[in-house]
Structure 1
Amino acid sequence: MELPDIWFIAIAVLWTGYFVLEGFDFGVGILLPLVGRDDTDRRVMINAIGPVWDGNEVWLITAAGAMFAAFPAWYASAFSGFYLPLLIVLLALIARGVAFEYRGKGDTDRWRAWWDRAIVFGSTAPAVLWGVFFANLVRGVPMDADGIVTAGIADLLTPYALLGGLTTLSLFTLHGAVFLTLKTSGPVRVRARAAALRSAAVAVPAGAVFLAWTQYSYGAAWTLPVAAAAAAALAAGALLAANGREGWSFTATAVAIGAATATLFGSLYPAVLPSTTGATFDLTVDNASSSPYTLTVLSWVAVVFLPLVMAYQAWSYWVFRKRVTREQIAPAPAYGGQEPAHAGAGEGPTAPGGAADGGTPPAARPTGD
């Protein structure tokens, strides 16, 4: 196995990590108005992902950076050819991040409602568009000999790509709902379980059809068991959620996302971006990769720093492993740090720094429940 092949696998692993971890973040954001009946419920949901959401996005930065360094031609063609949808993803992620930080800076329902809408948009748009993006990568796009993608928006919105968007949207919603049942208590947990069952009614058939379509049209012999494992894990996650087996259900949905991503990358290989204009214009791991020296330097950097990053992120998940409850949520301060007049006695203090809900992460810390 040559270095370009190793780096293709490494990039697939990075995208898998991003979808597994950021997937439940997206799901929580999508479910914000559905599971959160009042402001306290919504703050429970936001604080459930408060300590980890920005760390999860590092996987996206690392995956895109690895594509740029290891396969510059792939990066250039894909990110320029899909410029509009990827721009929407970028704007959505910006709006979502800003909303997490600014939502708690004002003490009015109208203020928070607008930021809640930004969170929903910032979670829903990427959840759909990543599926459309990767479905088009596997299917291929019109591309000339210079690696310039000539596809228009209509060329990207094929039935297969739209099914890919529906699959990622429903799968991330299910993943996020299961995460909430695992990470919260009280009414949010009860409603999240109901949301998991409703989203599973879409995710399981959509995922099964999308995986079958991918395998039949683009898959290799070795991707068949991987696709089957993804479909089985998805169905198992839904059944486990229905039976209240929250930890195993979350593990199953994570495996389903990982196996589905492996199926997509396995179906793509050895190409990195097929051309529907002609196979001679395909970008492959060989003709799109950087020089051997560049890949060698990247490999040493990855060997040194990637374990440190993964260890730190694992440690942060361990530290913030406890459930989030309504009782841990202090009244949100008004803009400028003033406590609102209706602040109730006996509610916990606001914890400093690091949370999503405008700097109010009491529920994000281990609480000993």
Structure 2
Amino acid sequence: MNHEILANIWYFVLVLVWSIYLSQEMFVTGVGMLSLTFKVDDISFKKINESVGTFWDGIQVWLIVAIGGLFATFPKAYGLTLQALYIPIFLLLFSVIFRGTSIELIYKSDDSKWQKFVSKIWGISSFILIFIEGIYLINLIVGLPIKNQLMTENFLTIFSRASLLMGLLLVLSAISLGYTWIKLTLGRDFKIISKVSILWISGAAVFVVALIFLSLTNEYKLFEVGLFSTNKLLWIMPIASMILYILQFVFHLLEKYVLMFISIVLGLSLVLFSGFTASFPFILPSTISLNDGLLIVDAASSFHTLKIISGVSLVFLPIVIGYQLWKYISFGRRI
């Protein structure tokens, strides 16, 4: 295995890590956003808090692996994204901190004002967290205005139509997953927002996915170059993601919450893999000129470094996965 092959493998491993992270993060942030519709002194609010309080901390390991893995395996890309996305990354960091502390500290005081204040922080930080992650990911996919490995335009360019749509998609998917998680852990009869409201949210997600792919196709021309232009079978991924988002809407109508949960997770994962596959072989495309993009092989760490990171990951990632599986099996039963 040479340097180029190992670098390409790590590129898609990081995409997989993001998919694993978001599949867990979204139901926690979704529950957080839904908590805004409840009164803190309601016993239902305490049950909602308990339904995710056991899981949020272990999920952050995957976020560390996703962003820290980019630094370890592709330091040039990490440096450029940190420079371009400085403010969103800090917002992401603060939202992670406030979301976690609010879940843990909300009942550390019996004062009702304290509980109401912290509950608002939980819901708002959950929204900011998942929305910023959508902006971060889409900018990795479509690229940045870079030339000679330097940002050439104002950072506001990162808030493009596509990035806002991706942030919206994660928010809508998170709310649907949060709704599904509550139904699965607290029972079908547990009252949250109305079924009609979630139907609107599920339907809007289908529409937003379509708009994202249209933007990637027409505005950024991502599917006209790279792997999608040479291998038509890859079009199965974006088509399947659209079908899965349609199915999650149908499964909600039928109240098949397990299937709805799976459809959203797989649908979003295929959206990510479609986008990152379309931008291959660039780990960070340039929106100015194709030739100014940062290639995967050029941005990768040395072959020796990648081998060490691969060896460490093969030892510790199974431990993390095993611990999380044990945690979901032990504490994921209905409350």
> Structure 1 residue aligned with 2:255, among 223, 244, 267?
244
How big is the shift at 1:223? 3.9
Rounded to whole Å, the distance in 1 between the matches of 2:164 and 2:121 is: 23
How big is the shift at 1:96? 0.8
Rg larger for: 1
List, as ranges, runs of 4+ consecutive aligned residues in structure 1 with deviation greater than 6 Å: none
Q: Which residue is equivalent to 2:18?
A: 15
What amino acid is the match of 1:218? L
The within-5 A match list for 1:14-53 is 14-34=17-37, 38-53=41-56
Query: Are 2:146 and 1:143 aligned?
Result: yes
Q: Secondary structure of the equivalent of 2:61?
A: helix
What amino acid is the match of 1:234? Y
Rounded to whole Å, the distance in 2 between the matches of 1:283 and 1:36 is: 49
> Structure 2 residue aligned with 1:276, among 281, 287, 290?
287
TM-score by length of 1: 0.83
What amino acid is the match of 1:295? L
Rounded to whole Å, the distance in 2 between the matches of 1:139 and 1:313 is: 32
> Structure 1 residue aligned with 2:62, among 43, 59, 63?
59
Deviations 1:234-278 (A, max 9, x none): 111121122111111111111112111111211221111111232
How big is the shift at 1:131? 1.5
Q: Which residue is equivalent to 1:198?
A: 200
Using the TM superposition, name which of 59-68 and 151-160 deviates more: 151-160
> Structure 1 residue aligned with 2:309, among 273, 283, 298?
298
Contact map agreement 1:143 1:281 (CA 8 A) in 2: yes
Rounded to whole Å, the distance in 2 between the matches of 1:15 and 1:192 is: 31
Using the TM superposition, name which of 196-205 and 63-72 deviates more: 196-205
How big is the shift at 1:53? 0.9
Contact map agreement 1:143 1:276 (CA 8 A) in 2: yes
Q: Which runs of 5+ in 1 are unaligned?
A: 325-369
Q: Which residue is equivalent to 1:267?
A: 278
> Structure 2 residue aligned with 1:287, among 292, 298, 309?
298
How big is the shift at 1:91? 0.8
How big is the shift at 1:282? 1.1
Rounded to whole Å, the distance in 2 between the matches of 1:15 and 1:197 is: 26
> Structure 1 residue aligned with 2:75, among 72, 77, 82?
72
Q: Which residue is equivalent to 1:338?
A: none
Q: Which residue is equivalent to 2:9?
A: 6
Using the TM superposition, name which of 248-257 and 186-195 deviates more: 186-195
Q: Which residue is equivalent to 1:157?
A: 159
Q: Secondary structure of the equivalent of 1:299?
A: helix
Deviations 1:262-301 (A, max 9, x none): 1121122111111123233211111100000000111111
What amino acid is the match of 2:180? V
Question: For residues 82 and 258 of structure 1, do their structure 2 counterparts lie closer, same or farther at Cα, with a shift above 3 Å needed?
Answer: same
Residues matched between the structures, number:
323
Q: Which runs of 5+ in 2 are unaligned?
A: none
Using the TM superposition, name which of 149-158 and 80-89 deviates more: 149-158
How big is the shift at 1:19? 1.0
Rounded to whole Å, the distance in 2 between the matches of 1:138 and 1:323 is: 38
How big is the shift at 1:38? 4.8
Question: For residues 75 and 20 of structure 1, do their structure 2 counterparts lie closer, same or farther at Cα, with a shift above 3 Å needed?
Answer: same
Question: For residues 190 and 34 of structure 1, do their structure 2 counterparts lie closer, same or farther at Cα, with a shift above 3 Å needed?
Answer: closer
Structure 1 vs Structure 2 CA RMSD = 1.9
Contact map agreement 2:40 2:115 (CA 8 A) in 1: no
What amino acid is the match of 1:42? F
Q: Secondary structure of the equivalent of 1:2?
A: helix
Rounded to whole Å, the distance in 1 between the matches of 2:139 and 2:194 is: 32
Query: Are 2:181 and 1:179 aligned?
Result: yes
Question: For residues 83 and 294 of structure 1, do their structure 2 counterparts lie closer, same or farther at Cα, with a shift above 3 Å needed?
Answer: same
Deviations 1:131-158 (A, max 9, x none): 222222222211131x222332431122
> Structure 2 residue aligned with 1:231, among 218, 242, 247?
242
Higher helix share: 2
Rounded to whole Å, the distance in 1 between the matches of 2:203 and 2:39 is: 21
How big is the shift at 1:34? 2.1
Contact map agreement 1:143 1:150 (CA 8 A) in 2: yes
TM-score by length of 2: 0.91
How big is the shift at 1:16? 0.7
Question: For residues 223 and 127 of structure 1, do their structure 2 counterparts lie closer, same or farther at Cα, with a shift above 3 Å needed?
Answer: farther
Rounded to whole Å, the distance in 2 between the matches of 1:85 and 1:279 is: 25
Contact map agreement 1:36 1:45 (CA 8 A) in 2: no
Question: For residues 26 and 229 of structure 1, do their structure 2 counterparts lie closer, same or farther at Cα, with a shift above 3 Å needed?
Answer: same
What amino acid is the match of 1:241? H
Rounded to whole Å, the distance in 1 between the matches of 2:109 and 2:196 is: 31
Question: For residues 35 and 117 of structure 1, do their structure 2 counterparts lie closer, same or farther at Cα, with a shift above 3 Å needed?
Answer: closer
How big is the shift at 1:215? 4.6
